Structure 1
Amino acid sequence: MTATPDVDAAETGTIRNPATGAVAGTVRWTDPTDVPRIATGLRAAQRDWEARGAKGRAKVLARYAVWLGEHRDEIEELLIKETGKSAVDAAQEVPLLIMIASYYIKTMEKALAPESRPASLPFLSIKKVTVHYRPRPVVGIIAPWNYPVANLLMDGIAALAAGCAVLLKPSERTPLTAELLLRGWLDSGAPEVMAIVQGAREAVEAVVDNSDYIQFTGSSATGAKVMERAARRLTPVSLELGGKDPMIVLEDADVDLAAHAAVWGAMFNAGQTCVSVERVYVLDAIYQQFVDAVVRAVEDLKMGAGDGYDVGAQIDQSQVAVTERHVEDAKAKGARALTGGERPAGEGSFYPPTVLVDVDHSMMCMTEETFGPTLPIMKVSSVEEAVRLANDSPYGLSASVFSKDVERGKAVALQLDCGAVNVNDVISNLMCTTAPMGGWKTSGIGARFGGADGLRKFCRQEAVVAPRTSVGAGGNYYNQSQKALKRMNTMMTKMALIRPRREAR
């Protein structure tokens, strides 16, 4: 999202807790003209970092994972201060990073090892072909505010494991935890291959201009601008962008499971999750039963920041305004709010968990990314209608399907136009580091995670072709006889046609 943050426009900014307005801390903004110098320092340090090899880097990452675990309480306390999250929401981020680090520590040596490739034709077996994965020197990571810890480093850990240096640009709304994470990297004895650039638009531009690869997470509109700027230097990008993730509940679903999943998937982090459940399509046979179960679950939620609460604050008043606008638009067009539906009085950027029914695709709550604690539920008459409506969106990040028949659920999943589908669960694909997480359509380009691909995306492939023997070397050089050249051409033509002729029979 791109709303104006509650940050003082000065060299040193004051960050305020969106739940209380209290000062969470201060940060010194980076002068964008300093970014080339910072990037140059990272490139110098990266050469030694790459030279350590996968085993050497794994030891450093293991120490950092231990530091994250030991300082989890400190990180989460600061996280709550600068985001207004509930304690339940804040508790998810550090464990996710430790899980990702643990996975790559165990797999990085094999994933990054040189690969031998077979000869494409028998006469080329005199050559030994090896593909090496060489890290890009500086990876720029531009992260959003909704998960200041996880989104900043879930790709950063992979880039570091690959042998890259990382240039982090946290959101100007949530810059404080980034400073703490950098301190932990250095305190754990790691080399200076991690640096932070603090600031807004000009800082983003400087990071794009001085990186060798860009990992961006944020809105589709901003992602397009990042990609456009990166194209000036032909810098490759990976973009994880907005979503309007649908849930489909079939008539044979476990209604209680689906209802609780919908509520958690929609309200977690106050709905400020790119893969949150933003719209639900329920078969008419169980529609009312599902709605009743959802309302009961939502009514049990407690709104507030920190310990003892389920749903925290939104990041600022401008984000609350988006949620409010979508709800008011829906009500004006005939929808009903069964819970919430009104901005509460008092301080803090809160909006109550809101269940909307009698909704359709004429309403913004069903077609535009809300990024707030709303759950619009639409009745449908058939699976085909549910699939059609789910796909009727410019977004395609993830989705979920609920059915007691898992094979049926999987069949429906493969009809949905998105990068990931959870059957009988929501958001769980984020934990599956062996699977790619990427969006279709305007939800992004490329993917994070994906097993070995989650490391190799930060590398350049270098093919090394070496001789196994000196026999046949130079057979097609200009200084060879015409007879030798003719003989070589004849052999190459015959050998190249053997397999196509076999396959054509």
Structure 2
Amino acid sequence: MTPTAESVTRVVAALRSRQPEWEALPISARARWLSRYRDWLWDNQSRLEALLIAETGKPAVEAGLEIPYIVQAINYHSRRAPRVLADRRPRPHGVLAMTKRQLIVQRPYSVVGVITPWNFPLGLSLLDAVPALLAGCAVVVKPSELTPKAVSAAVAGWAEIGAPQVLDVVCGDGRAGNAVVAQVDFVQFTGSVRTGRAIARAAADRLIPCALELGGKDAMIVLDDADVTRAANAAVWGAMANCGQMCVSVERVYVESAVYDEFVSQVTAKVAALRPGIDMGRFTNPAQIEVMRRHVDDALSRGATALVRSHGGDGPTVLAGVDHHMLCMTEETFGPTLPVVRVRDEHEAVRLANESRYGLSAVVFSRDRHRAEGVARRIDAGAVNINDVFANLFTLALPQAGWKESGLGTRGGSEAVSKFCRPQAIVAARVTPARELTWYPYTPLRGAAMRRVSRLIGARGFRRRFG
């Protein structure tokens, strides 16, 4: 049952009332609670994974990735939090600043709302909740209405370990999400571009910050000096993992002509060998089946060829003879399709890769590291993986940032904890005369003195300082 706006308001109000005590704890104490929670996640891993499989239809191996991912995030951010959140005293910029004690402290947003989709319910919910909790925020998670059980069970674990009640969950459809956005102080959203735009507008109306990770249409470029077998394996996993239901799925491949035939041959054989229920799960959201069918049917009607396609039209599909007039090359499919394009050279590949309104991540394959990096630097995307796929997701020190319509702000990275804080400047006078030179009353003598001092400090060259 969708909670009412009033019930969401009560949940957020309760979190807000408890947050100051949580913020007042030493960072080490907050980290200890996260460590206990990490142990609880390990102890309940099998139960949580069973809920994931039941709700999402993931294969067991893929369901088994989410808890270890969260645990690594807890370990990494807990190590960094004391340094990231430590008070800082910047060096004075000049003579006048030397008379002031300068201090920068990090103050957390009171309540953070984390709104997540159905494709990685635990991973995406807790990946953002963990650094926010370390920062001293209270957190309310709103999971997709398609996958509420696994997230609710995981959040319940926070209460089970006896932690301060600064983590809670509200379940329901978009109305619950709207109520969260209307109440919290910072919104972290993962989902569609359409919903992301609505959240950005609502956040702007309230003058609160938001971070958005939205859709993708990730491109893979295979250069003529690539390890074709590794590239083909990466393309198949990158396109088909989680039934293609990933914002960073490989959704289009551009292959230089010299290795095109070999690449397509290997990809076709590997996709045809995928085993339903073992390698491939099912669609979590049945609506995505129709999106995929529409994209594939459109491509076939415009002259593309299906090298692999299931009878029902909802299984792993490889398309050749595609171009940018087709929906499968321009709109996010979010399903197990792999369109492959033959290109003349790397310049055409980069041009086509950038011919998209999305810019989440991309992949480049080449045995020449310098050449690959040169191509990567020309791709308009927040992350580029070289001779790998999804690698940026597992390098926790790196930010995940969507360009263009793929997002706003960053997730993770070395600034993941401080992102949920506001810097506060505290300035104290070192010397305290009864009156500063700039204070009332204004007099000609004071004005002349201020003018002379400002020239001595700020001007360069003898004439300007003393003229």
Band of TM-score, shorter chain: over 0.9
Are 1:337 and 2:306 matched, yes or no?
A: yes
Match of 1:72 in 2: 45
Amino acid at match of 2:398: A
Are 1:144 and 2:117 matched, yes or no?
A: yes
- For normalisation by structure 2, the TM-score amounts to 0.96
- For normalisation by structure 1, the TM-score amounts to 0.89
Q: Where does 1:469-484 land on structure 2 (aligned, <5 Å)?
A: 469-470=431-432, 474-479=436-441, 482-484=444-446
CA distance in 2, matches of 1:485, 1:464: 28
Are 1:269 and 2:232 matched, yes or no?
A: no
CA distance in 2, matches of 1:444, 1:492: 45
1:235: how far off?
1.3
Q: Where does 1:235-384 land on structure 2 (aligned, <5 Å)?
A: 235-304=208-277, 309-343=278-312, 351-384=314-347
Match of 2:398 in 1: 435
Amino acid at match of 2:155: L
Of 176, 180, 189, which aligns to 1:216? 189
Three-state SS of the structure 2 residue aligned to 1:454 is coil
Of 466, 475, 478, which aligns to 2:428? 466
1:118: how far off?
1.6
Three-state SS of the structure 2 residue aligned to 1:457 is helix
Are 1:456 and 2:414 matched, yes or no?
A: no
Amino acid at match of 2:351: R
1:334: how far off?
1.0
Are 1:93 and 2:93 matched, yes or no?
A: no
Of 147, 150, 155, which aligns to 2:128? 155
CA distance in 1, matches of 2:170, 2:97: 49
Of 54, 57, 66, which aligns to 1:81? 54
CA distance in 1, matches of 2:460, 2:15: 51
Are 1:207 and 2:180 matched, yes or no?
A: yes
CA distance in 2, matches of 1:225, 1:321: 24
Range with greater deviation from structure 2 (486-495 or 167-176) = 486-495
CA 482–137 in structure 1, closer or farther in 2 if over 3 Å, else same = same
Amino acid at match of 1:483: L
Match of 2:100 in 1: 127
Amino acid at match of 1:281: Y
Match of 1:52 in 2: 25
Amino acid at match of 2:253: V
Match of 1:426 in 2: 389
1:472: how far off?
9.6
Amino acid at match of 1:327: V
Of 170, 174, 177, which aligns to 1:197? 170
CA distance in 2, matches of 1:474, 1:342: 83
1:195: how far off?
1.2
Match of 2:153 in 1: 180
CA distance in 1, matches of 2:373, 2:161: 44
Q: Which runs of 5+ in 1 are unaligned?
A: 1-10, 12-28, 345-350
CA 472–278 in structure 1, closer or farther in 2 if over 3 Å, else same = farther
CA distance in 2, matches of 1:490, 1:407: 55
CA distance in 1, matches of 2:80, 2:436: 40
1:31: how far off?
2.2
| Percent of paired sites with the same residue | 46
Three-state SS of the structure 1 residue aligned to 2:416 is helix
Three-state SS of the structure 1 residue aligned to 2:260 is helix
For residues 393-413 of structure 1, give each alpha carbon's deviation from its aligned partner in whole angstroms, at most 9, with x where no partner exists. 000000010000111111100
Match of 2:450 in 1: 488
Aligned length: 463
1:473: how far off?
6.3
1:471: how far off?
6.4
Question: Does the CA contact (< 8 Å) of 1:254 and 1:403 recur in 2?
Answer: yes
CA distance in 2, matches of 1:498, 1:75: 66
Question: Does the CA contact (< 8 Å) of 1:327 and 1:341 recur in 2?
Answer: no
For residues 76-108 of structure 1, give each alpha carbon's deviation from its aligned partner in whole angstroms, at most 9, with x where no partner exists. 001000111111211111111000000011110
CA distance in 2, matches of 1:467, 1:355: 69
CA distance in 2, matches of 1:438, 1:424: 20
Amino acid at match of 1:303: P
CA distance in 1, matches of 2:143, 2:435: 54
For residues 85-139 of structure 1, give each alpha carbon's deviation from its aligned partner in whole angstroms, at most 9, with x where no partner exists. 1112111111110000000111100000111112122232111211111000000
1:490: how far off?
2.2
